[in-house]
Chains A and B, each alone.
Chain A
Amino acid sequence: MSIIKSMLLYSVALLLAGWVMLTGDVSARQVTDGIGRQILVPDNPVRLVALAPSITEIVFALGQEQRLVGVSRFSDFPQEAQQLPQVGSFVHLDIEKIVSLNPDICIAVKDGNPREVADRLAFLHIPVYAVNPLNLEAIMTMILQIGDLLNAADRAHIIVAGMKSRIDRVRERVMKTDLRPGVFFQIGISPIVSVGKGTFIHELIQMAGGTNLCAGYSSYPRLSREQVLVLSPDVLIVTTMHRGLSIDQIKAEWAGWTQIPAVRNGRIAIVDSGIFDRPTPRQVDALEQLVQLIHPELSKESP
């Protein structure tokens, strides 16, 4: 009897200690976050701040937007996200704003949010769950992790399953041909900047059955027009942060360079940077778009 009693007392004490350790009256658990840190997170986060636009998107996709009290500045998808209070841009966060929203957890992206911010927030007893999506695989893992965090694991699984099946379909389609057209993916107009190995876009291009002509360069190489000429791309895809740059303007920029097959054959396209640059479920949309552009002959068949 006394053993049970003391065990009971012990567990009650433990619970109380855990309770007291937290600022507030939420129960919490120890988890490992996306970059391997051990942190204490609330069981049911109700005041979430997303420190990057991709995180905001994922939270909405998981249907957990009611938990959000703050988002980073360029969180523009979905539209409703723009109504939420903004806490600065994701490289230059406003700590004061974040603290004033009294969050019980923040989700940060390792490659982008400054380390100091995470440390400061932790110092102020605000847990920061960090993720680090480096490729499609990691994006899907991240969605599952965030789903777990926000008690939306089921929804997360559905999303990831959907992504996986679409990716598999793309893979099958691409395997039907040996053609791997040379793709030049331009993310900067002036100067001309492309993507090298180690970026999301590179992976997407390869998966979509293209050859990224800048694979051998650093992550975001700058090239001159002559260098692009030498690379001789079959497909030229442009993504730009500037809305409003029309396809005609882009075509006009490249118009004189008919030695480039892409220009000669009119295979120039603009795509929305929002789905290409961000590690979100919409990357699969990007992938499908790329397949259309790189292998238009494949899309004539039914999916």
Chain B
Amino acid sequence: MTVAIDVAKISLTYGKVSVLKDVSFTVNPGEFFVIIGPNGSGKTSLIKSIAGIEKPQHGRIDIMGRPLSGYGRKALARKVALVPQTAPADFPFTVAETVLMGRAPHLGLLGLESESDLKIVRQVMVFTGVAELADRKIEHLSGGERQRAFVARAVCQSSDIILLDEPTASLDLAYQARLMDLMEALKNDRGATIVMVSHDVNLAALYADRLLLLKDGQIMSQGRPADVLTYETLEKVYGCTLLVDQSPLGDFPRVTLVPGKFNPFAGSG
């Protein structure tokens, strides 16, 4: 079974700043893989590197067994879809038109869509719950609705791998849950490989098959949530007092932040 994503010893520097140092890991097909870590740990750079938008100076990334550099842009887009952290707010198109653009890697020169493309778009819009927003303009939507539209667009790319960079960052609780469920459904129903960057450790724990914990561009831990989310590892990485126990929802770790006033062991001041 070919590994979906094989990251081998990549290092990325911007000018003098080193954002990724000798990072290696693999993602299996059909896996829900979540990358967590504090700000500045290189999570976004890592996702962008996998998407082919950033080019690490050292190391290699293989997608579905072929080196990333061996893919043409369009061919890569048919394999990997990206939902970046920020979506343009002044985008003049409607939701339907936006989602339709997701078919771009499969279209010819003028991007003339066929009936089958439109069918796919209709299905995806229903699947992702944006069908009722179809004729609304993106610029008139709330942040959460906009995000869902762009996620739908990524799903339309019909790619094997979907990368998401902090997709729940600006969403309401309800939408956060819906998005995660959507990704889970994509994984289960369509066999998609999901790689998500998240700042929400608990949500990650509930859904991820495997976690990758980054700090300062280096891997601190990877594996099943229960193995990665331990008190020692997390305290070292996040530098604060945390309580790790079992979630009431099942066999998942639950991480609780312990701020100063609850912490009898915190230093004074």
Are A and B direct contacts in the complex by CB distance below 8 Å? no
Interface residues of A (CB under 8 A from B): none
Binding site for A on B (CB under 8 A): none
